[in-house]
Chain A
Amino acid sequence: MTVVLLLFLLCTSAAETEKRIVKDFSLQNVDGKIISTKDYKDAKGFVVIFTCIHCPFAKLYHERLNQLHAKYSKLHIPLLLINSSDTIMFANESLANMAKVAKEMKYSFPYLFDPSQTVAKDFKAEKTPHAFVIWKENKQWIIKYSGAIDDNGAHPELVKSTYIANALDELLAGKPVTVSCGYSIGCAIHYRK
């Protein structure tokens, strides 16, 4: 029964997704420092992406994450990458291994460790990668987009819809987000019972 419920959470009605509020969070970065959303005084919003080291579909996006951050952090929408893997099940999803990936892939943004899975649970993240755009409204973080980063994992050159970028451009222009809910696809996040 849980399986059925989870699938519906992926893409509920757009209106419902837009109303969802998530909490501020602070997590350990790969450099050892604690990073909090509260540290970003100027942030209009965040791109929050849940990922992991071992999922083949998540591995396709390293370069595009750097590009997203390069463009939108200047516009006060930084990217936060989060690994919420069940570290009991997956020994390799460690902070040390995350640091190796961050170095190798030249991540220009924080890569945060969420071993208790609390942030992933607050966002209701389902997959790796699962991307969110959150936006500050009345001092609260509202989910404006939930789903895939774009519409072609293995072939960036064939991407037709850049869901995250589109949502950010619309928000920056003061418009409502047209596509607020795209299917996140990839490996399931295993939640520790």
Chain B
Amino acid sequence: MIESPPKEIPSIIVQSKNKLTTPMLKRIFTLFLFAALTKFSTAQFNTLWIPDTLSGTTFNLNLIDTFKQIRSGNQTVTAGVNSDFWGPTLFFNKGDTVHMNVHNYLNDSTTLHWHGMHLPAVMDGGPHQVIPPGTIWQPYWKVANNAATYWYHPHLHEMTQEQMTKGLGGFIIVRDPQEAALALPRTYGVDDIPLMLTSRSYNGSNAFLYTNTSYGDYMLTNGIPSAQVNLPKQMVRLRILNAEMERAYNLGFSDGRTFYVIGNDGGLLNAPVAETRVILAVGERIEILVDLGTNNIGDTVNLNAYNGGFALGFPGGEPAQGGQFGSLLNNKTFTLLHINVTAATANAITALPVALANNTYWTASDATVNKTVTVTGGLPNQPGNPFGFENTHFDFNVINKTVNLNDIEKWTITNSNVFGHAFHIHDVEFKLVSRSTGAVGAYESGWKDVLYLPLGSSATFVAKFDDYSDSIHPFMYHCHFGPHEDGGMMGQFVVKGDNTSGIAEANVGTDFNLYPNPAHNKLFIQFPEENAGVYYVRMSDIAGRSVYMLPQPQLNNGIDIANLPSGIYLVALTDSKFNTITKKFIKD
């Protein structure tokens, strides 16, 4: 578990040399030799952590401040979800309605965004759904996404980089019958491995750095430095997420082998795509199959980032080793995961499927509305004008774009600016239909929610904005680089329709009753008026301490208050016109 940075060993010798006698030097030389040998054997690798799993339809996620022994010396202060870094992998079945209990035990407010999920804006966990410390937020939605690898992460404006750096986040794996019918590896942690790629820099006390820094100096793969994993001699599936702040990974294997891309952000490709290198930008996921069947047991192979030699604009290609835009991993090849080949498992998948899915993608001609987004700002000589879109920066009070429910739209994102970006849009999975740099790569031909936007290029996607409208609550589109989105490289759009988020227009009317009062386990809400509805319920104690946030609550079964301390509470009901009525009840 403890990383031994090899660089420190020579420095000890250099510092002490003058005072040392020959026998002492010999001993230290032996020590150094031993350390050097272990460096090049397998001993310095640490076992890859596979996140725990949660499944079912109710998910309890506790966001905590904690610490973890990542390096030798002091522990690193971290944050995690039910864990000391990162969080559990959530397994959803397509078609299920999932209920989330997100309990914020952090010392600060946060939000939790379900990246890639198609859901109502008020459930999305964007910058608007701020969860104060001590509060339980209970969004729920019907899983409409295809089987693929998604993730959840904080999205609090101006705090995203800090909170993600500390480790908050986790994978979501959606299963569906189409994917389940295929002969694909899917034994989690055995032949189906989630890989969260990121890097960190540390100060002298091993604390993470997260201000004025774009790149980490040391890799963390699922939170583990110098990670290794034993994988069986058969076809294995890697679900790779770029959870960096800015760096892209030019993925490949140390023996130059061909691997097969089977899935993008939002689902399987129609057929596997053979590649030896694939660029994965921040926020993107890719599922690949790697054939270890031709290897011998005991073989090793590295999954590497071949990040050397890129032109300016490739995120992480900057040559500097230090400073805001430099790092020890910039502009070079480095290892992401060391793989040891072990014996095959029973029922191993050994063959590559010929076909995977039968996606019908949108084409440019399906779109009835065209929108453009242009990258601006970020010039080195204009420090007061960070990266943005259309020369503006995120403002809670400004809706930048409006979409009509069920429209198919074509968005063209243009970057003739100074650096590469990773463009992400909430609510939808889109189809990339063209790039100014040439054809859309086969490896990115599937459903996506993030696109890599190289410097000096434009990219066009088509998406249908269906199912959920909400004329008030926006979705986000933004650059997924932590420093860029925190700097305001975000816009918001609303999806306008006949109703709000698929439910009847919510209207609290003029009055409601809370019963029983006092209440002990469950609190019910009774409306004297027909067609009354609720858009949002917030509950706080008499001191003003927020305890519950319930978006579009399903009130038929009451609100579970069994775990609240006894006392007087305030219940505020808000309708979709933002009328709010507040009532008191006593928890006994």
> Could you show 19 A-B contacts with beta carbons less than 8 Å apart?
A3-B158, A55-B107, A57-B65, A57-B77, A88-B543, A88-B545, A89-B132, A89-B134, A89-B545, A91-B545, A152-B73, A152-B75, A153-B74, A182-B205, A183-B207, A185-B74, A185-B207, A187-B65, A188-B107
* A25 surroundings in chain B (CB, below 8 A): none
**Least Cβ–Cβ distance between A56 and chain B, in angstroms:** 5
> Is residue A90 contacting chain B, with contact meaning CB distance below 8 A?
yes
**Least Cβ–Cβ distance between B137 and chain A, in angstroms:** 15
Given contacts A88-B543, A89-B132, A154-B69, is CB(A187)–CB(B211) below 8 Å?
Answer: no
Q: Which of A91, A148, A152, A190 contacts B543 (CB 8 A)?
A: A91
* B541 surroundings in chain A (CB, below 8 A): 91
Q: A57-B65, A190-B107 are in contact. List 19 more A-B contacts (CB 8 A).
A: A1-B158, A3-B211, A4-B212, A54-B105, A55-B65, A56-B64, A57-B75, A88-B543, A90-B134, A91-B545, A153-B67, A160-B73, A183-B207, A185-B77, A186-B77, A187-B65, A187-B107, A188-B65, A188-B107
Closest residue to A6 on the B side, CB-wise? B211
Tally of chain B residues near chain A (CB < 8 A)? 29
Listed in ascending order, the chain B residues whose CB lies under 8 Å from chain A are 64-67, 69, 73-75, 77, 105, 107-108, 132-134, 158-159, 162, 203-205, 207, 211-212, 541, 543-545, 565
Closest residue to A148 on the B side, CB-wise? B205
> Is residue A18 contacting chain B, with contact meaning CB distance below 8 A?
no
- Docked CA distance A108–B74 (Å): 26
- Docked CA distance A41–B159 (Å): 45
Q: Is there an interface contact between A151 and B205, defined as CB atoms closer than 8 Å?
A: yes
Contact with B along A122-166 (1 / 0, CB 8 A): 000000000000000000000000001001111000101000000
Q: Is there an interface contact between A57 and B207, defined as CB atoms closer than 8 Å?
A: no
Given contacts A55-B65, A183-B203, is CB(A152)–CB(B74) below 8 Å?
Answer: yes
Q: Which of A3, A182, A186, A190 contacts B133 (CB 8 A)?
A: A190
- Docked CA distance A154–B74 (Å): 8
Given contacts A3-B158, A3-B162, A89-B545, is CB(A185)–CB(B134) below 8 Å?
Answer: no
- Docked CA distance A78–B530 (Å): 67
- Docked CA distance A54–B105 (Å): 9
Q: Is there an interface contact between A187 and B77, defined as CB atoms closer than 8 Å?
A: yes
- Docked CA distance A7–B208 (Å): 12
Q: Is there an interface contact between B543 and A188, defined as CB atoms closer than 8 Å?
A: no
* A95 surroundings in chain B (CB, below 8 A): none
Q: Is there an interface contact between B134 and A91, defined as CB atoms closer than 8 Å?
A: yes
* A88 surroundings in chain B (CB, below 8 A): 543-545
Closest residue to B159 on the A side, CB-wise? A3
* A154 surroundings in chain B (CB, below 8 A): 67, 69, 75
Majority SS at the chain B contact face: loop
**Least Cβ–Cβ distance between B69 and chain A, in angstroms:** 7
* B158 surroundings in chain A (CB, below 8 A): 1, 3
- Docked CA distance A160–B134 (Å): 36
**Least Cβ–Cβ distance between A157 and chain B, in angstroms:** 13
* A158 surroundings in chain B (CB, below 8 A): 73
> Is residue A189 contacting chain B, with contact meaning CB distance below 8 A?
yes
* A187 surroundings in chain B (CB, below 8 A): 65, 77, 107
Contact with B along A69-111 (1 / 0, CB 8 A): 0000000000000000000111100000000000000000000
Q: Which of B69, B73, B162 contacts A151 (CB 8 A)?
A: B73
Tally of chain A residues near chain B (CB < 8 A)? 27
Contact with B along A165-193 (1 / 0, CB 8 A): 00000000000000000110111111000
- Docked CA distance A148–B67 (Å): 15
**Least Cβ–Cβ distance between A165 and chain B, in angstroms:** 16
* B212 surroundings in chain A (CB, below 8 A): 4
- Docked CA distance A54–B62 (Å): 14
* A91 surroundings in chain B (CB, below 8 A): 134, 541, 543, 545, 565
- Docked CA distance A182–B206 (Å): 12
Closest residue to A147 on the B side, CB-wise? B205
Majority SS at the chain A contact face: loop
* A55 surroundings in chain B (CB, below 8 A): 65, 107
Closest residue to B567 on the A side, CB-wise? A91
* A160 surroundings in chain B (CB, below 8 A): 73
Given contacts A90-B134, A91-B545, A154-B67, is CB(A190)–CB(B211) below 8 Å?
Answer: no
Given contacts A4-B211, A90-B134, A187-B65, is CB(A151)–CB(B545) below 8 Å?
Answer: no
**Least Cβ–Cβ distance between A31 and chain B, in angstroms:** 25
A89, A158, A160 pick with most chain B CB within 10 angstroms = A89
* A7 surroundings in chain B (CB, below 8 A): 211
- Docked CA distance A154–B205 (Å): 13
Q: Is there an interface contact between A151 and B74, defined as CB atoms closer than 8 Å?
A: yes
**Least Cβ–Cβ distance between A7 and chain B, in angstroms:** 5
A4, A90, A187, A190 pick with most chain B CB within 10 angstroms = A187
- Docked CA distance A30–B132 (Å): 28
Closest residue to B65 on the A side, CB-wise? A187
* B132 surroundings in chain A (CB, below 8 A): 89
- Docked CA distance A4–B487 (Å): 12
**Least Cβ–Cβ distance between B158 and chain A, in angstroms:** 7
Q: Is there an interface contact between B107 and A185, defined as CB atoms closer than 8 Å?
A: no
**Least Cβ–Cβ distance between A60 and chain B, in angstroms:** 8
* A54 surroundings in chain B (CB, below 8 A): 105
**Least Cβ–Cβ distance between A150 and chain B, in angstroms:** 9
**Least Cβ–Cβ distance between B130 and chain A, in angstroms:** 13
Q: Is there an interface contact between B65 and A56, defined as CB atoms closer than 8 Å?
A: yes
Closest residue to A56 on the B side, CB-wise? B66
- Docked CA distance A85–B133 (Å): 12
**Least Cβ–Cβ distance between A28 and chain B, in angstroms:** 19
- Docked CA distance A190–B162 (Å): 15
Contact with B along A6-50 (1 / 0, CB 8 A): 010000000000000000000000000000000000000000000
* A185 surroundings in chain B (CB, below 8 A): 74, 77, 205, 207
Closest residue to B543 on the A side, CB-wise? A88
* A152 surroundings in chain B (CB, below 8 A): 73-75
Q: Is there an interface contact between B204 and A183, defined as CB atoms closer than 8 Å?
A: yes
* A189 surroundings in chain B (CB, below 8 A): 107
- Docked CA distance A152–B205 (Å): 9
* B64 surroundings in chain A (CB, below 8 A): 56
Given contacts A88-B545, A183-B207, is CB(A190)–CB(B67) below 8 Å?
Answer: no
- Docked CA distance A88–B132 (Å): 11
Closest residue to B541 on the A side, CB-wise? A91
- Docked CA distance A136–B543 (Å): 39
**Least Cβ–Cβ distance between B15 and chain A, in angstroms:** 15
**Least Cβ–Cβ distance between B156 and chain A, in angstroms:** 11
* A186 surroundings in chain B (CB, below 8 A): 77
Closest residue to B547 on the A side, CB-wise? A91
- Docked CA distance A57–B108 (Å): 16
**Least Cβ–Cβ distance between B368 and chain A, in angstroms:** 41
* B66 surroundings in chain A (CB, below 8 A): 56
Q: Which of B67, B203, B545 contacts A57 (CB 8 A)?
A: B67
- Docked CA distance A1–B543 (Å): 29
- Docked CA distance A183–B133 (Å): 25
- Docked CA distance A158–B162 (Å): 28
* B545 surroundings in chain A (CB, below 8 A): 88-89, 91
